[in-house]
Amino acid sequence: MRWPPANGQGPDSLTPAANEVMTPEMRLRQLQARHRALDNKISEMQGFPYQNHILLQRLKKEKLRLKDCIAQLKDEIIPDLDA
């Protein structure tokens, strides 16, 4: 399951062209969009009393993994001013 769809359609498509180099800022925006999409999907699933609990757990783990990747990428992009 990919969030958002990688078909390259739509005004807010974050998937670069095959020959386009992805900058760290583009990667960050892509990860943030996937994180938001997972958050929306999790919220939507929690509204149903008989949701798939295993899928819900997997989505939550993926969301946490994305959060860690986003934090690491932000640390790489933004220099530490205390150093």
For 6-58, what is each residue's pLDDT tens digit?
Answer: 444 444 455 666 677 888 899 999 999 999 999 999 999 988 878 788 999 99
The number of folded domains in the chain is 1
Residue 63 lies in domain: 54-83
CA distances 37 to 42, 59, 77, 80, 81, Å, are: 9, 10, 23, 29, 32
Instruction: With respect to residue 42, please indicate whether it lies within any of the assigned structural domains.
Output: no
CA 68 vs. chain centroid, Å, equals: 10
> Would you say the pTM of this structure is higher than 0.85?
no
